[in-house]
Amino acid sequence: MKFDDLDKKMRVYETAQDICIVPEMYIVARIDGRGFTKLTKEKYDFEAPFDPKFRDYMVETTKHLMNCGFNVIYGYTQSDEISLLFHYNENSFGRKIRKFDSILAGEASAKFSTLLGGVAAFDCRISAFPNKNLVIDYFRWRNEDAHRNSLNAHCYWTLRKDGFNKREATKRIEKISISDKNELLFSYGINFNGLPSWQKRGIGFYWKETDKESFNPKTGEKVIAKRNTLYINYELPLKEGYYDLILSILSK
């Protein structure tokens, strides 16, 4: 068999399963650290529950993903996960899911591993939403997940640092209400509401148009050029303010 014929014959086995996201759907990817419970607590000694160095690695990884060839209009990171919202007209790789999944997981793993100086891997999954409200619900969901996990993690690690073992600390916070968790922290002198926003609400990334002064090389005159620069918001607004932010990004 000639190579061209063999190529044609074999290519089918790779592409037969290719699923694409149909047009007029909003694409969101979530990239999540694989086995990061072990990585952050056993393989590396990151501060628990929140380590600014770990946060900075996640921030750098998110920036990298927002500049790796796709048209990402909003990025969001909390804990070991990153969510990316693509432009409505994103058409990279014919919207093939396997391309999004493999490239984004690969790029995130490479970037984070370089920063860490060791092997770290991420997985990636895609959601497709038929309207803006569902996109807002998606980001609301991840935002509320961040808030819930943060309260639990602060309670758990406060107890662990006070001498409770894994089982005791887990049991102590298992069935108590949100206000009791706040009270528990308060009894240790911690005001949950006063903790840094990035620990409770995550971090948002979006583009802002800025003026950049430069020279016209032909005339030597000063010109103002419009540039899209990445803005990182460590103090994301709450509730309606947050939904409005996502909506404004979607409407650009």
Interaction of residue 146 with Mg ion, rule CB under 5 A: no
99: left (phi over 0), alpha (psi -120 to 50) or beta: alpha
Residue 36 beta carbon to ligand GDP: minimum distance, rounded to whole angstroms: 4
By the criterion CB under 6 A, which residues form the site for ligand GDP? 32-37, 40-41, 46-51, 54, 79-80
Among 33, 49, 75, 202, binds Mg ion (CB under 5 A): 33
d(CA 1, CA 12): 16
Q: Which residues pair with 211 in a beta bridge?
A: 226
Q: Which part of the chain contacts Mg ion (CB under 5 A), choosing from 32-40, 149-157, 189-197, 210-218?
A: 32-40
The verdict on 123 binding Mg ion (CB under 5 A) reads no
**Quick one: 33 or 202, whose CB is closer to Mg ion?**
33
32 sits near Mg ion (criterion: CB under 5 A): yes
CA distances from 183 to 49, 163, 166 (A): 18, 19, 20
Looking at beta carbons only, is 81 or 90 nearer to Mg ion?
Answer: 81
Q: Of 203, 237, 209, 228, which Cα lies nearest the Cα of 62?
A: 203
Q: Using the rule CB under 5 A, which residue among 80, 85, 95, 126 binds Mg ion? A: 80
* E strand residue ranges, the chain: 26-33, 72-78, 81-86, 122-129, 203-215, 222-233
Q: Of ligand GDP, Mg ion, none, which one sits near residue 54, judging by CB under 5 to 8 A according to partner kind?
A: ligand GDP
